[in-house]
Structure 1
């Protein structure tokens, strides 16, 4: 008797993969102030997040193509193996530069985990059951949002930050075992069309040069070198478009960009995801650096956002049945705008519970907006292109996060350095690293603690002000949405 896939155990493996990648964001955000204080690298802290997002985003379309050509199982196992390797290297990192390199490796593996996991669900479940399973799969993000900060704070406060990465190793090994044994795939015929390697490489080069340009601005201001990076990024992007037009199997189909609705909902998704990254990284830093809370409490403030995200997603589904996309997006973005405005208006001495409330409000807004942009991106194209549209929507969100975390890092460092130099305080250069680490902040003298917290508050204030600007631009983009010209369309008035 031919061996068949054990659907229940493979589904458990997919849920485990989702949980592992979901908890990676919340647990690292919680521990980052401690890591920065330990490795002395606040100036390049944003690279810990951005390099992971960059390698993740750049490899996602390649993994998707490979999964179609050689099968889901080998690609998924390769991705998990690389992720385990990268996690181990992160845990052993002796300095910030090594940690960044290790996070790049981790991102290479993560690029296969989520998209291939969702593809496996599509393979093993019929259409009528798939939506329910995907809904349950998304619940793993809510669980991770609660467990991640608690686990991150506990690990940091007890055995040390290194173990927030080592914890991925046993989870990943269990995942390898489940998928290796219980996922059975039919043999595939050798693909006739070659991989679009050149297009993939050009896309990677374009975004890498763009990100390097933003990072170098924060290191030393504008220069000829930075302009060359941006020029190189634009040239690589132009070459990418040229190659994609002639590729037999393009990594991104350019005909999708003739659909204005598809373009604008993905732009909105990218901008809002960029603001989301700022919220996830800098709210814990606010609580730990400005208010002096423990690492666990700083990260736990993000839990209401992820839990209420699910509520926002369900609300979006209900609203889309009764109203048009423009109106639903207006509601979601307005909620985000209100939450962002609260972050701007709260004082330096704002109570901790207020951040839990703001986090909950933002979660509802993000849930409505991101779900609506995803559904609209899928429904604005013919059914034959839904898979490609979904992949690009994911890529757009990741690119938005990658670019904006660099921009926010540049902005925060610039404002803090400027305010520190103008304050006249006689302090060491690494004093801000010391401030954001709950374990070392108490070593700063009481007369310096208040002005330093004010400087950090000012920098974070500017970060969230720019974030609100992204939301305002997204609201303006709603005006350019038009009715999708497909049978698969949702309401668009």
Structure 2
């Protein structure tokens, strides 16, 4: 306990206090944006007839974040986090405004993509600020505080968004968040000027990673758009089916081709140490975010619950997430084993959520079970963040943080796009609240929690430093020289 207090004191020392407060403001703002938009989306889909493309609005945000993450990783290594943070803020605000005035659902989706691009820039910049400005001993505490920054938005965000949606319309949810983003980033951006470029940054590798990032985002977009269209089109012709199938296969092939070059070597095969730590991040995200995106829709359509009340489930998940992150900051054993514990808890809780949905359990039961899922995610993801920075030399913190976020966001894309495709395939237009459709989605996503347990074991079952390889070589072979 004394050690935790000392680490917290380092993070709130006079020289670091303004930066710490600014970072917490950014994450609080991002949390409010996420909780508010998820709460409002059922109303958006209903008004603009976008139910069949509901999942695409979430996965496109994450797809664009992939591109922003790759570009920001190398950019932060070369120029410091300040420029990426400023550009990310501008793009996120532009996307929110575009979604807020959109007359059609596909334009809302496009606005979410622009916001996602900005979010990718911002999150990598925040990670680099933490890695370069805070002592390693204080970093677990800072990541715990970042998770705690979700608590207030999680508690009031859905209620405010639900109230605004019902009283003034969903557009004001998007338009009202934009000024909050601006205020949060302006707090921290001036304090990043002293965190400049590193002389060892490799411009050639940065350019190669940028090209790979465009290819990855393009492949992900093509695959998910084709799958959603294939499920959405009624009585498609043979040529349409063939064309969309080829597009989906080509997109998946591109992703599989370029993804290994953006991650530490061995991530795709669950090599021990850092590669499996990063893989665990992606696998648990598939399950959690794929489920979370459809919880409000299930409660609104199946049970007739208003959006604000339905959002309380998401609030419980965020509170649980903060609790899990609080716990990981105070462990005294090897934190790599938290990856196994977190994945196991998530597997049990997501399976329980599917059973509770099938049994039409009360809203209170669903809230408690989803809080357990959030606890597991807080424990797991905060630990992957700490371990990645610990195993990264300073001149690779941007790239490795980007690799972690790529795994994070790609997991969210696979989860939301896959859940969206299943929903489009299984949904009954005459019965949009068909409970077995949602149960099938939860069970399909549960499989990824089992894979997360395996990758967690691979990440934990390595040497003393947890890397399984020399930290300075963690990205060797991932990009051409």
TM above 0.5: yes
Larger radius of gyration: 1
Structure 1 equivalent of residue 472 of structure 2: none
Structure 1 equivalent of residue 314 of structure 2: 302
Structure 1 residue 75, shift from structure 2 partner: 2.0
CA 1:478–1:86 in 2, change beyond 3 Å: closer, same or farther?
A: closer
Aligned-partner Cα distance in 2 for 1:124–1:324 = 22
Structure 1 equivalent of residue 275 of structure 2: 263
Provide TM-score, normalisation by structure 1: 0.80
Structure 1 equivalent of residue 413 of structure 2: 402
Structure 2 equivalent of residue 27 of structure 1: 36
Question: Per-residue displacement from partner, 1:287-318 (whole Å, max 9, x unpaired)?
Answer: 22222111111001221221122222233455
1:416-431 matched pairs, under 5 angstroms:
416-417=427-428
CA 1:270–1:361 in 2, change beyond 3 Å: closer, same or farther?
A: same
Are 1:345 and 2:323 matched, yes or no? no
Aligned-partner Cα distance in 2 for 1:54–1:84 = 18
Are 1:36 and 2:45 matched, yes or no? yes
Output the aligned Cα RMSD. Answer: 3.2
Structure 1 equivalent of residue 292 of structure 2: 280
Structure 1 equivalent of residue 221 of structure 2: 208
Structure 1 equivalent of residue 160 of structure 2: 151
Provide TM-score, normalisation by structure 2: 0.82
1:223 aligned counterpart, secondary structure: helix
1:350 aligned counterpart, secondary structure: coil
Question: Per-residue displacement from partner, 1:77-123 (whole Å, max 9, x unpaired)?
Answer: 11101111111111101110111111111111111112212322344
Structure 1 residue 372, shift from structure 2 partner: 4.1
Structure 2 equivalent of residue 391 of structure 1: 402
1:484 aligned counterpart, secondary structure: coil
1:131-150 matched pairs, under 5 angstroms:
131-150=140-159
CA 1:330–1:180 in 2, change beyond 3 Å: closer, same or farther?
A: closer
Aligned-partner Cα distance in 2 for 1:174–1:382 = 32
CA 1:344–1:394 in 2, change beyond 3 Å: closer, same or farther?
A: same
Aligned-partner Cα distance in 2 for 1:120–1:19 = 16
CA 1:355–1:162 in 2, change beyond 3 Å: closer, same or farther?
A: same
Paired residues, what number?
444
Question: Per-residue displacement from partner, 1:111-139 (whole Å, max 9, x unpaired)?
Answer: 11122123223444344444433332332
Aligned-partner Cα distance in 2 for 1:113–1:241 = 21
Aligned-partner Cα distance in 1 for 2:459–2:17 = 41
8 Å contact 2:32–2:154 — kept in the other structure?
A: yes
8 Å contact 2:154–2:315 — kept in the other structure?
A: yes
Structure 1 equivalent of residue 122 of structure 2: 113
Give structure 1 stretches of 5+ with no counterpart. Answer: 245-250, 421-426, 433-452
Question: Per-residue displacement from partner, 1:176-219 (whole Å, max 9, x unpaired)?
Answer: 54346555337759977243232222222332233234323423
CA 1:186–1:304 in 2, change beyond 3 Å: closer, same or farther?
A: closer
CA 1:298–1:61 in 2, change beyond 3 Å: closer, same or farther?
A: same
